[in-house]
A and B are shown apart, each in its own frame.
Chain A
Amino acid sequence: GAVVSQHPSWVICKSGTSVKIECRSLDFQATTMFWYRQFPKQSLMLMATSNEGSKATYEQGVEKDKFLINHASLTLSTLTVTSAHPEDSSFYICSARDLMRGAEETQYFGPGTRLLVL
């Protein structure tokens, strides 16, 4: 089956530093990857859609300069939280779509990254 990995699985950083989270599709190619944020006991909120070779599309209210997304290849997208602050602490989840399976194929989710900013 299709597998999506995320690295790191958890990270603790100091306020003001930047943190990079990687999302990889391990056994398939993904033209599109999605980044979600999930607060404790809440649902997933779409942050941005990452397309290989082009700029990401951000949802309303998400600061593109704070959450930098790069989708440099068909198997890798990165989310960089710049100048992180405690309010950025959250669970970040990526998902990827399998290009070869066409538009009807579902998204596959990574295991998530827990970010804690002190």
Chain B
Amino acid sequence: AQTVTQSQPEMSVQEAETVTLSCTYDTSESNYYLFWYKQPPSRQMILVIRQEAYKQQNATENRFSVNFQKAAKSFSLKISDSQLGDTAMYFCALENAGNMLTFGGGTRLMVKP
């Protein structure tokens, strides 16, 4: 069984500031993928960033970057220059070889003007 844990139920950040969301996971598989998804009030799941476990280089997508620490099984998301539109629920997820996603409990992020 695999688990994903997000220890921060809620976070807030001032507009233009930087915020880091934490995620730890556990899996017995050697090959897997990690994701961060954003769920705004519309509840549409939006892929923010993806990381292949076999790649040591941290993934980056514009203002979003991850800190992937494989040995520690940690996968944090850094949002730089936070914008009001970043306000949403953020879910960390792990995909195994069976292509099934396991989600963390989510972190509610509020960006304040």
Residues of A within 8 A of B (CB): 32, 34, 38, 42-46, 49, 91, 93, 95, 97, 103-104, 106-107, 109, 111-112
Contact A106 B35 (CB under 8 A): yes
Q: Which residues of A contact B35 (CB under 8 A)?
A: 106
Q: How far is A34 from B95 in the complex, measured between Cα atoms in Å?
A: 13
> What's the dominant secondary structure at chain B's contact region?
strand
Question: Given A43-B91, A106-B35, does the pair A111, B105 have CB atoms closer than 8 Å?
Answer: no
**Chain A residues near B103 (CB-CB < 8 A):** 43-45
Which of A34, A38, A91 lies in contact with B101, CB distance below 8 A?
Answer: A34
A86 to B33, CA, bound (A): 36
Chain A nearest CB, measured from B9 CB (Å): 9
Closest to A107 in B: B101
- Among listed B21-29, B43-51, B67-75, interface-contacting one: B43-51
Give the number of residues in B that approach A within 8 Å (Cβ atoms): 21
A44 and B91 contacting across the interface, CB-CB below 8 Å: yes
Q: Is the CB of B50 within 8 A of A106?
A: yes
Distance, CA A42 to CA B106, complexed state (A):
7
The minimal Cβ–Cβ distance linking A36 to chain B, given in whole angstroms, is 8
Complex Cα–Cα for A105 and B31 (A) = 14
Residues of A within 8 A of B46 (CB): 109
A111 cross-chain contacts in B, Cβ below 8 A: 42-44
B66 CB to closest chain A CB (Å) equals: 15
Known contacts: A106-B47, A112-B43. The answer to whether A34 contacts B100 by CB under 8 A is yes
A91 x B43 contact (CB < 8 A)? yes
A112 cross-chain contacts in B, Cβ below 8 A: 43-44
